[in-house]
A = this chain, B = another copy of it.
Amino acid sequence: MHRHRTPARRATSADVARLAGVSRTTVSFVLNDTPSQSISAGTRRRVLDAARELSYAPSAEARALGRGRSTSVLLYLPPAGSLTEDIGVIVERLSVLFSEVGLSMVIHAWTRRPAAQVWSSVTPAAVLAWDLAEDDAERMRRSGVRGVVSWTGSDDMGRWITGLRERDIARVQVQRLVAAGHTHLGYAITGGEHMHGVSQWRFEVLQRECAARGLPRPSALPLPADPRGAADVLLQWRERHPGASGVCAHDTTAALAVLCGMRRLGWKAPADLAIVGVNDSPAAALADPPLTMVALDPEVTARHIVAVINALVRDEPAPSPPDTAGAFTVDRESV
By a beta-carbon cutoff of 8 Å, the part of chain A in contact with chain B is 1-2, 4, 6, 8-10, 55, 57-62, 64-65, 70, 72, 77, 80-81, 83-86, 88-89, 91-92, 95-96, 99, 104-109, 111, 115-118, 120-123, 141-144, 146-147, 190, 225-227, 230, 252-253, 256-257, 259-260, 263, 281-283, 285-288, 290, 312, 315, 318
User: Quick one: which of B57, B89, B106, B226 contacts A104, CB cutoff 8 A?
Assistant: B106
| B312 lies within 8 A of A288 (CB) | no
- Evaluate whether A62 and B65 lie within 8 angstroms (CB atoms) in the complex, with A1-B315, A55-B120 already known: yes
Instruction: Determine how close the nearest CB of chain B comes to the CB of A323; give it in whole angstroms.
Output: 22
The residues of B that contact A146 with a CB separation of less than 8 Å are: 1
Which of A109, A227, A282, A315 has the most B CB atoms < 10 Å from its CB? Answer: A282
- Evaluate whether A77 and B92 lie within 8 angstroms (CB atoms) in the complex, with A55-B116, A123-B10, A286-B253 already known: yes
| B141 lies within 8 A of A8 (CB) | yes
CB closest chain-B residue, reference A64? B61
Indicate how many identical chains form the complex.
2
- Evaluate whether A286 and B315 lie within 8 angstroms (CB atoms) in the complex, with A57-B121, A59-B123, A88-B84 already known: no
Q: A283 to B287: give the CA distance in the assembly, Å.
A: 9
- Evaluate whether A252 and B84 lie within 8 angstroms (CB atoms) in the complex, with A10-B143, A121-B59, A142-B6 already known: no
User: Quick one: which of B6, B92, B111 contacts A83, CB cutoff 8 A?
Assistant: B92
| A116 lies within 8 A of B227 (CB) | no
| B283 lies within 8 A of A120 (CB) | no
| A108 lies within 8 A of B105 (CB) | yes
| B88 lies within 8 A of A1 (CB) | no
Q: Could you list 16 further interchain pairs (A-B, Cβ under 8 angstroms) beyond the known A59-B123, A260-B288?
A: A1-B312, A8-B141, A55-B120, A57-B120, A59-B121, A61-B65, A77-B92, A81-B89, A95-B109, A104-B118, A105-B106, A226-B285, A256-B287, A257-B286, A260-B286, A283-B283
| B104 lies within 8 A of A99 (CB) | no
Q: A10 to B70: give the CA distance in the assembly, Å.
A: 13
The residues of B that contact A259 with a CB separation of less than 8 Å are: 286
Which of A4, A81, A99, A116 has the most B CB atoms < 10 Å from its CB? Answer: A99
Q: A274 to B52: give the CA distance in the assembly, Å.
A: 58
| A283 lies within 8 A of B57 (CB) | no
Q: A151 to B58: give the CA distance in the assembly, Å.
A: 28
Q: A2 to B155: give the CA distance in the assembly, Å.
A: 13
Q: A263 to B263: give the CA distance in the assembly, Å.
A: 13
The residues of B that contact A9 with a CB separation of less than 8 Å are: 144
Instruction: Determine how close the nearest CB of chain B comes to the CB of A326; give it in whole angstroms.
Output: 17
